[in-house]
Amino acid sequence: LTTIIKDNKGNPKGMLATIRDITERKEAINELERSNKELQSFAYITSHDLQEPLRSIASYAQLLQRRYEGKLDSDADDFIDFMVAGATRMKDQIQGLLDYSRVGTHGEEFNKFNAGDALNIALSNLKSSIDEYDADVNPDPLPDIVADESQITRVFQNLISNALKFRREGIQPKIHVSAQNKDDEYIFSVQDNGIGIEEQYNDRIFEVFKRLHAIGEYEGAGIGLAIVKRIIERHGGRLWVESEFGVGSTFYFSIPAKDVK
Ligand code: ADP
């Protein structure tokens, strides 16, 4: 940036070009920020406004199902069932999109709290599934962090509910939550002994609506991990997974530790 190219009279002609470059880059970044904001509000508005017409499709489909099941022919019963299932799935997806776009717009201030408290709230929200599957959830003591507590609670809740959902048949689900201080960040881990993930999907599972199983095999809109990723990125951290297919997965996320002392 400091290089000044001079012409043969000693005038700095290269400097002008550099200034123009910086201005263009700044404009490009502004443009990117503007279009990101626009995209976010677009996602928010569409998902919010789509809820109303969808609600009416879903409720009339359910009304048809209740009043006319068995009174038309069996094809009609099937069609109505597909309609109800489709509308229900779409409702979950739209709600998921809305939650996803709210990560940026409805985030709270960062405060100092103990990550173990956030984990405990998540565990109490998941108590009925933990009891139902007789899961052994084993957390290490966790550090104090500076973050959005309700979003970090959500992170634990999404990761642990996945660990419960993608458990292996016939063995007790075991979930270990831990944290390590490395350089200027904390690295949290949520480890399970579930079905695992094939390596080629290790990045794609964090995309919106990406699921690795057929509809009906496991419940879910495929947006839980995308929300986790967005929350962690809002905190300046990273999210990744290490997994062995058929053995289990460990999800890691980092949170900068610089403000905690
Ligand atoms: P959902 O759980 O609603 O399908 P997610 O975004 O939470 O969506 O997860 C995306 C996909 O990643 C899941 O459908 C599943 O295939 C895979 N996955 C997530 N967590 C785990 C886990 N703990 N063990 C195995 N697979 C997982």
Burial class (CB in 10 A: 0-12, 13-18, 19+), 19: exposed
Is 241 near ligand 1, meaning CB less than 6 Å away? no
- Both tokens of residue 72? 């038309």
Atom of ligand 1 nearest to the CA of 158: 7
State the distance between the two ends of the chain, measured CA to CA, in whole angstroms.
37
Pocket test residue of 225, 229, 242, 247 for ligand 1, highest count of atoms within 8 A of CB: 225
Cβ–ligand 1 distance for 205 under 6 Å, the answer yes
- Site of tokens 């048949």: 169
pLDDT of residue 47: 81
d(CA 119, CA 88): 30
pLDDT of residue 121: 98
Which stretches in the chain have pLDDT values below 70? Answer: 1-19, 259-261
Atom of ligand 1 nearest to the CA of 212: 16
What is the CA(223)–ligand 1 centre distance, in A?
9
The pLDDT value given to residue 159: 98
Nearest to 188 by CA among 150, 240, 231: 240
Judge whether 212 and 197 are in contact, CB under 8 Å: yes
The reported pTM is 0.82
